[in-house]
Amino acid sequence: MAPGQAGAWAALGPLLWGCALALQGGMLYPRESPSRERKELDGLWSFRADFSDNRRQGFERQWYRRPLRESGPTLDMPVPSSFNDMGQDAQLRDFIGWVWYEREVALPQRWSQDLDTRVVLRIGSAHYYAIVWVNGVHVAEHEGGHLPFEADISKLVKLTAQTAAGPASDFYTLPVGIRTVAVTESQFLINGKPFYFHGVNKHEDADIRGKGFDWSLLMKDFNLLRWLGANSFRTSHYPYAEEVMQLCDRYGIVVIDECPGVGIVLPESYGNVSLQHHLEVMEELVRRDKNHPAVVMWSVANEPASFLKPAGYYFKTVIAHTKTLDPSRPVTFVTNSNYAADLGVPYVDVICVNSYYSWYHDYGHLEVIQLQLATQFESWYRAYQKPVIQSEYGAETIAGFHQDPPLMFSEEYQRSLLERYHSVLDQKRKEYVVGELIWNFADFMTNQTPQRALGNKKGIFTRQRQPKSAAFLLRDRYWKLANETRYHHSVVKSQCLGNSLFPF
């Protein structure tokens, strides 16, 4: 062997020696079996970044020895996710340093009662250096992201509660929020105070996933709602995931809860079979969501052909049935029919109207909006003497398209259209208009038609949740409305869930 080769071998010797020992066994992926149970901890965790100068305040003050919320303000953070991408805060987006996650976990009694049961905490990945405590006791440390590590915590788990007579057979916790809802001829009242809806319509839709529930997407959307200053949304046009409703309770976002009553546009849509199914769907919706304080009104349909002769009896029946199921909340449906021809509106508590002036007709003529919208409001109120919500309005806008003077599909056109709507809304909300819900929160995918450029582009955010010019206009308006009424998201917030994202 040449001298140079010997030197190289000598330098590598310790490394080779350290790697020579065979692993005694691989780490098993947790799979359920007749003898093994698995409890997923994915979901929302309490989160706090350590913004102290040395980034070590959490260790110095031992945040791990008490609930994290007692150390200061916390956020809800989805796991798994990248915390930097969840909010609208540049400080958090650019943060490098220690961050703290906490979650209270209720374990099955048998895990604690059976002395032979081994309980292992497995962290699938935590980037980059992780320290883990259970009940204030240090159980693990790990350096390096992407790979799993685990700790045996059998001796640390304990029952959270038990009855005096012995082990309880069942535990269930139900967050509760107490509030009242009422409607007068010109007002919508929550806890006896006038409430003005300034919010959005949404869809459970996003890039890649399409439709479906996703914690990271949900938290991004709620952070955008906070940024926007929105206090409400309608579940257009179907019930959303139960986790969405739970988060609305937690954050005090007011919800108009809508059933999937869409496409009721033909005479045969009003037959007995459809009616019976509609009644059953309302029973299912009310049964699921009646305990959510955030839900303040039921919507039984969206844009039906309510001018057809059978519509009167049909909606009279559905609305009466819904009121029997839940007498505590008003009931509506969302109409785009003419005020003089609508046969269902006499039975609603609040008139919700969709209109797209200067978009689907008189397109390009922004100057007609104020006259048409004012006439719309005055006609509905004169006919029925009920509060009115502008439940949809908006314009298609392709992000990055600019034209001055404004042309359709440009960001300037969307913004100018909204400004004209707002000028009328500001007049009428002093009288009997009780809300405005933009269509739509974000762009969403649709079927292909010559009128759709890769889906519906009426969002104030893109499908990727980036703001268009109109988002900044609406943000300025909504925060002014919130500060003017001083009636924020907390009006229906569940009092037993005090960790609100909205620090009012």
Catalytic residue list: 303
Long-range contacts of 177-182 (CB under 8 A, 24+ apart): 177/249, 177/293, 177/294, 177/492, 177/493, 177/494, 177/495, 177/496, 178/293, 178/495, 179/293, 179/491, 179/492, 181/296, 181/297, 181/328, 181/329, 181/330
Q: Please name the residue that has the structure tokens 């955010």.
A: 461
Structure tokens at 138: 């240090």
Alpha carbon distance 310, 260 (integer Å): 19
3 state SS for 310-345: CHHHHHHHHHHHHHHHCCCCCEEEEECCCCCCCCCH
* Residues ≥6 apart with Cβ < 8 Å to 253: 199, 222, 225, 230, 231, 232, 233, 247, 294, 489
Alpha carbon distance 54, 74 (integer Å): 19
User: Angle at which helices 311-325 and 272-289 pack, to 10 degrees?
Assistant: 30
Backbone φ, ψ for residue 414 (5° rounding): -60, -45
- Residue 389 near residue 254 (C-beta atoms within 8 A): no
